Amino acid sequence: MLVDETSPYYVVGAFDCAAGYVENRPKVQAAFRTGGGVAWGDQPGCVFCAIARFFRPGYEANIVEKWLPALDGVVEKLKAGARVADVGCGHGFSTLIMADAFPNSEFIGFDFHDASIEEARGHAKKHGAGDNVRFEVATAKDFPGKDYDLVTCFDALHDMGDPAGAARHIHQALKPGGAWMIVEPFAHDALEQNINPVGRLYYSASTLVCVPTSLNQEVGTALGAQAGEGRLREVAKSGGFRQFRRAAETPFNLILEARH
């Protein structure tokens, strides 16, 4: 947990996050008094890299080996050549992991935060990413393209101001037979079931980053990092998705699959 950076349970990034949350506290307190939010771009600079660092070990251990294979027929499409949008990609670790594993497929990472996209492009260049991956600035409600085989959202849907609007746009952007993979912080549907070490971590993060970020955006739904499968199902179905299931899980994440 503290030494092996390749372990999926490596949590040093969580301590980096906590330091950023403390720095963010005065802005959040002021926003809560007025019912407003705090823009993602107004968070302390270290929060962005800390959050990416926290989630990266789990992504490296699970995306290719466990999560994508848990989706119906998706790996076969990726091996043959598919088009993928990674929405809310942040610093791009999830996008780069997939692009490296499936060189025949095209991957586009989208994020509404300009500085994060610049970081993603920097990571791609530093690590010698192939020409099958690129990063663009766009929101979850207006990213371009209508012919994707797969759309992914890694730990991002709950931060969006209008997740239902994002779901509608993703539904329209997918090809017939395409899939939407939603990776969210692990949560049960009932509050009392989330009073555990992981739940406490995510509720705290949600209060200091996720909820203020959503409240600063259009609609401001503020799902929070402990939305739970039932609430996420409602969001997907409001966007037009008829099929929805839990494909996999870890102590830190729910992996959900939605289809037309």
pLDDT 10s per residue in the chain (260 long)? 899 988 888 888 888 888 888 888 999 999 999 999 999 988 876 787 888 888 899 999 999 999 999 999 999 999 999 999 999 999 999 999 999 999 999 999 999 999 999 999 999 999 899 999 999 999 999 999 999 999 999 999 999 999 999 999 999 999 999 999 999 999 999 999 999 999 998 999 999 999 999 999 999 999 999 999 999 999 999 999 999 999 999 988 999 999 99
> How many residues comprise the chain?
260
Phi-psi region of 134 (alpha: psi -120 to 50; beta: other; left: phi over 0): beta
Is residue 205 within 8 A of residue 21, CB to CB? The reply is yes
* Unique residue bearing structure tokens 């492009």: 121
Name the residue ranges covered by the structural domains of the chain. Answer: 12-259
Q: What are the phi and psi torsion angles at 146 (to 5°)?
A: -135, 25
Instruction: Kindly state which CATH superfamily the domain 12-259 is placed in.
Output: Vaccinia Virus protein VP39 (3.40.50.150)
CA nearest 91: which of 164, 151, 156, 1?
156
Which whole-number Å values give the CA distances from 105 to 74, 80, 116, 133, 235, in the listed order?
12, 7, 23, 9, 28
Amino acid found at 153: C
Is residue 37 within 8 A of residue 215, CB to CB? The reply is yes
Q: Which residues are CB-contacts of 141 (< 8 A; sequence separation ≥ 6)?
A: 162, 165, 166, 168, 169
- Please count the helices (runs of H) and the strands (runs of E) in the chain: 9, 7
Spatial distance between the Cα atoms of 72 and 2, rounded to a whole number of angstroms: 35
Q: Are strands 174-185 and 83-87 parallel, antiparallel or unpaired?
A: unpaired
Which run of H or of E encompasses 50?
Answer: helix 45-62
Question: Which pair of structure tokens corresponds to residue 118?
Answer: 């610049």
